[in-house]
Amino acid sequence: MKLAGGYNVSIKGRPSNDVEVLPEPQVLQLPLQSRFLNFSNVRVEEGQHVRLGEVLAKDPDHFAIPLLAPRAGTVRLAAAENHIVLEDVSRADHEPYDSFEETEHIPENLGSVGIKRYKLLQLGAWQFFRNAETGGPVDPFGTPTAVIVSTVHFEPYVARGDVQMQKRLRAFTRGLEHLQTLLEYQQIYLALPEVHSSLALKVRDMIRGYAWAKPVGIPFRYPRRTQRRSYRVKLKGRQLRIHRTPP
């Protein structure tokens, strides 16, 4: 039988017991374009000093999603093509810049849920939400059918979800609760691998206490030596269907 997909790379050694903290970079190159976003509306000038969290550019075609400065530094616009370069990068000693505080006007018809979404948009967090069908940005003022939160990795060389969540389960729980406040009555589907570790059991026990969250099991087939399968989530009405697509 010929197997399609996957990796066959021998890796020697084992993970270190310590996490090495890398030094702060002196220069950061921030791309103005990605697969779905184009930050064409540059809001800073050459040589300008910006604070941590200050707006560098916005995408006018996708709900004015902002590109925020990840560190304080000096702006260079011509140092790299299609990039904003920050030199003399440093962590700010003062409070980070909060663009939401300078918002001149918030539409009254947004409601409490809309205001929370608008704040996430202004603070640069909304770009991490994706349309489950297209992969593109989500309309912050639209009405979603449901929200899918995945804890599954199908790619190698990335720490498993249970490893990343081991010491962050409480923060993960708070994140789900905050995500629920961005919705009205829609369901949250939590994609979980079908494993039986102690952490997985804790997550499932946690979900049982939330009427608005529903776990969805994903068969744990990779990286075992079986034919690799990909799983695609589709929403039809309020039902979640998982289809197994052969390679």
pLDDT of 77-124, one tens digit each?
999 999 999 999 887 655 666 665 555 555 666 778 888 888 888 888
Contact status, residue 63 vs residue 84, Cβ threshold 8 Å: no
pLDDT of 160-211, one tens digit each?
666 777 778 888 888 888 889 888 888 999 888 777 777 778 888 888 888 8
Model confidence at 227: pLDDT above 80: no
Output the pLDDT for position 113: 82
DSSP conformational letter for 166: T
- Structural fold of domain 27-105: OB fold (Dihydrolipoamide Acetyltransferase, E2P) (2.40.50)
Give the list of residues 6+ apart from residue 155 with CB closer than 8 angstroms, or none: none
Model confidence at 247: pLDDT above 50: no
42 in the Ramachandran plot: left (φ > 0), alpha (ψ -120 to 50) or beta? beta
Model confidence at 237: pLDDT above 60: no
Model confidence at 220: pLDDT above 70: no
DSSP 44-61: --TT-EE-TT-EEEEETT
C-alpha distances (whole Å) from 24 to each of 27, 72, 76, 91, 181 are 9, 12, 18, 8, 35
Output the pLDDT for position 114: 82
Model confidence at 59: pLDDT above 90: yes
Angle at 169 between CA 208 and CA 222, to 5 degrees: 85
Model confidence at 75: pLDDT above 90: yes
Average pLDDT over residues 117-134: 87
- Please measure the distance between the N-terminal and C-terminal CA atoms of the chain and give it in whole angstroms: 14
Contact status, residue 183 vs residue 143, Cβ threshold 8 Å: no
Domain boundaries, the chain: 27-105, 143-245
pTM of the model: 0.70
Angle at 208 between CA 231 and CA 117, to 5 degrees: 70
Average pLDDT over residues 2-22: 64
Q: Provide the pLDDT confidence category of residue 68 given band limits of 50, 70 and 90.
A: very high
Cα distance between residue 107 and residue 127, in whole Å:
21
Among candidate residues 231, 245, 246, 226, the one with its CA nearest the CA of residue 3: 226
